[in-house]
Amino acid sequence: MRIAVRGGTVVTSVQAVLADVLIEDGRVVAVVEPGSDLSDGFARKCDEVIDAIGKYVIPGGIDVHTHLGSIGQGSYVLDSFATGTVAAALGGTTTVVDFASPSDGQGMLAGVDAYHEKTAGQCAVDYGFHVFCVGASANTLAEMDRLVDEGVSSFKMFMAYPGSLFSDDGEILQVMQRSAENGALVMMHAENGIAIDVLRAQAVDRGETSPIHHALTRPPVLEAEAVHRAAVFARLANVPLYIVHLSSAAALDQVKEARHRGQNVFAETCPQYLFLDQELLGLPDFEGARYVCSPPLRPVEHQQSIWGGLAHGHLQVVATDHCPFCTWQRELGRDDFRLIPNGLGGIEHRVELMYTGVVGGHISLTRWVDIVSTNPARMFGMFPRKGTIAPGSHADLVVFDPNRSHVISASEQAMNVDYSVYEGRELPGTVDTVLLRGNVVVRDHRFVGRAGMGEFVPRGLCQYLF
Ligand code: URP
Ligand code: ZN
Ligand code: ZN
């Protein structure tokens, strides 16, 4: 199968140039001057020529933080691998890395096996796994080694959620020490869950049970403290550290401090921390419950710091933490915010939302590609198979129209959730065509791929060290 994408501006993390992309058997074979003899000759013997004149051609987006079909928090995510990966494709994301979450008493290896079964034949885009790592038993540490060999090279630990996913300081240190040997990357949910639980109980005792108290009992200082503590353990163990879903200016300051000390401390943020704010949790009639996630949405002034962190390289990745719950599921916590399932949906909009940052002058065009595709690939051992447009790389491409705006509406979304937290937001550019390993999966904004086209991506070690 030979495809040429012609006449577009090819944007990678390093440059934007007018070029034709020539594709054969799922891989990029050349990126050449438009109209060159090589390009013309290739186009004459092509199965398909895609016209990208006036558009950007970028590497497929990589969303390294999703929870498709996950079970927990008293409810389950109705957006499955089947529905969620179609939404991902429509939004220009061609690879997701989801969290295999072992069920109670199940080891990490068995948990990953269960996720292989769950995903088989389901995914419309390529996919990999991280694993939830709870505690540090001898078995857990041994399983870590095995999983790294199987291409599952990153492990999420929780300083939050005591009584379920929480690991204590000693356990975190032991997992980090093991990662110094096996090369795994520890991903940290950095919030001080023990202190948060005290604040939550005190709030409920005072009768403060509505959704806004979810945010008020998880203050930025308890995120910052946890980032600092995790960075200290990473320093002791001499390993890199990746902070997930960083939400606040105070937490960002701790990342910066660790980086100034010379540590490989990295962090991801999510669109919700750039485009939504804490006030939404105060919406009347329990509507605020739709905006409950952890860490919580912050007061609007944090957004400027987070944009700055992205622009200046202190934050490297934007992922969605896609974990949507329907209105009826949020009802679980009508009388007690602690019972509202946590998480927001956004897998369909990440690439387009982040382009808003280019138009708004927060980030450059190349930085946009960096944070939605190239850095996630390098951070999680997929580069240069993924995350760039270069000879040999997977032909995961997005043709993006910067001159076609559209408005987000739940009535048109593919994500399986009954509302959108971004309802009514105007996006200045639109994903037009998407290729997954040389197969057109989105054409003129319509999904034309199929379930099962996505392949498991075994990943190497983090490639993003200083
Ligand atoms: O609220 C969130 N973030 N839900 C998903 C689980 C997690 O901690 O990432
Ligand atoms: Zn988390
Ligand atoms: Zn998450």
Residue from 67, 157, 292, 325 to probe ligand 1 pocket by mutation (most atoms less than 8 Å from CB): 67
CA distances from 87 to 79, 179, 344, 394 (A): 9, 34, 14, 20
Ligand with the closest atom to the CA of 319: 3
Residue 244 alpha carbon, nearest atom of ligand 1? 9
Best residue among 75, 161, 321, 329 to mutate for probing ligand 1, ranked by most atoms within 8 Å of CB: 321
Provide the CA 146 distance to its chain's centre, in angstroms. Answer: 24
Ligand 1 touching residue 416 (CB < 6 A): no
Q: How far is the CA of 189 from the centre of ligand 1 (A)?
A: 8
User: Which are the contacts of 245, defined by CB distance < 8 A and separation ≥ 6?
Assistant: 65, 189, 268, 269, 270, 273, 293, 295, 319, 321
If one counts every other C-beta atom within 10 angstroms of the C-beta of residue 392, the result is 10
* Pocket mutation for ligand 1, best pick of 294, 322, 325, 344 (most atoms within 8 Å of C-beta): 294
Which residue has its alpha carbon closest to ligand 1 atom 5? 343
Rounded to an integer, the average pLDDT of 22-41 is 97
Ligand nearest to the CA of 189: 2
Band the pLDDT of 74: cuts 50, 70, 90. Answer: confident
Rg (CA), the chain: 21
* Per-residue confidence band for 71, with pLDDT thresholds at 50, 70 and 90: confident
Nearest ligand 1 atom to the CA of 65 is 9
Residue nearest to atom 4 of ligand 1 (CA): 343
As a whole number, mean pLDDT of residues 183-201 equals: 98
Q: What is the mean pLDDT of the chain?
A: 97
Nearest atom within ligand 1 for CA of residue 67 = 5
Q: Would you list the domain boundaries of the chain?
A: 2-58+388-403+424-447, 60-379
> What are the Cα distances from residue 94, in Å, to 39, 124, 355, 388?
25, 8, 17, 12
pLDDT at 34: 95
- Is the CB of 343 inside a 6 Å radius of any atom of ligand 1? yes
Give which of 375, 398, 388, 395 is closest to 439, Cα–Cα. 395
72-100 average pLDDT score: 96
Interacting residues of 66 by C-beta distance below 8 A, sequence separation 6+: 84, 88, 96, 97, 98, 99, 319, 320, 321, 322, 323, 347
Dist CA 75 CA 260 (whole Å):
41
What mean pLDDT comes out for the span 358-376? Answer: 98
For residue 438, pLDDT over 70 is answered with yes
> What does the pLDDT read at residue 72?
82
Listed residue (114, 175, 149, 181) closest to 381, CA to CA: 149
Ligand 1 pocket check for 98: Cβ under 6 Å: no
The answer to whether the peptide bond before residue 295 is cis (omega within 30 degrees of 0) is yes
| pLDDT of 5 | 98
pLDDT tens figures, 292-336: 999 999 999 999 999 999 999 999 999 999 999 999 999 999 999
Domain 2-58+388-403+424-447 falls in which CATH fold?
Answer: Urease, subunit C; domain 1 (2.30.40)
Nearest CA to ligand 1 atom 8: 294
Tell me the percentage of the chain whose pLDDT exceeds 90.
97
Max CA distance (Å), the chain: 75
Report which ligand 1 atom has the smallest distance to the Cα of 165: 8
Distance CA 272, CA 321 (A): 9
By residue count, the chain amounts to 466
Token pair for residue 178? 């093991």
The DSSP-derived string for 174-206 is HHHHHHHHH--EEEEE---HHHHHHHHHHHHHT
Q: Is the CB of 210 under 6 A from ligand 1?
A: no
* The pLDDT of residue 419: 98
Q: In this prediction, what percent of the chain has a pLDDT beyond 70?
A: 100
User: Is any atom of ligand 1 closer than 6 Å to the C-beta of 67?
Assistant: yes
Cis peptide before 341 (omega within 30 of 0): no
Name the band, by pLDDT with cuts 50, 70 and 90, for residue 104. confident
User: Contact, 345 vs 414, CB < 8 A?
Assistant: no
Tell me, using a 6 A CB cutoff, whether residue 321 lines ligand 1.
yes
- The C-alpha atoms of residue 34 and residue 115 are separated, in whole angstroms, by 43
Mean pLDDT, rounded, for 196-210: 98
Calculate how far, in angstroms, residue 3's C-alpha sits from the geometric centre of ligand 3.
36
Q: Could you tell me the pLDDT band of residue 466, with boundaries at 50, 70 and 90?
A: low
- According to CATH, the topology of domain 60-379 is TIM Barrel (3.20.20)
Residues 353 and 271 sit within 8 Å (Cβ to Cβ): yes
DSSP string, 340-378: SPP-B--TTTHHHHHHHHHHTTSS-HHHHHIIIIIHHHH
Is the pLDDT reported for residue 140 higher than 80?
yes
Index of the ligand 1 atom closest to the CA of residue 293: 1
- Find out whether the beta carbon of 294 lies less than 6 Å from any atom of ligand 1: yes
Which pairing describes strands 75-76 and 93-100: parallel, antiparallel, or unpaired?
Answer: unpaired
Residue 145 has pLDDT above 80, yes or no: yes
- pLDDT tens column, 266-290: 999 999 999 999 999 999 999 999 9
Residue 451, Cβ density class (10 Å: 0-12 exposed, 13-18 middle, ≥19 buried): middle
Q: Which two tokens stand for residue 128?
A: 């990999």
Calculate the CA dihedral of residues 212, 217, 218, 221 and round it to 10 degrees.
120
- Asked if residue 243 has its Cβ within 6 Å of ligand 1, the reply is no
**Count of C-beta atoms within a 10 Å radius of residue 236:** 12
9 pLDDT more than 70: yes
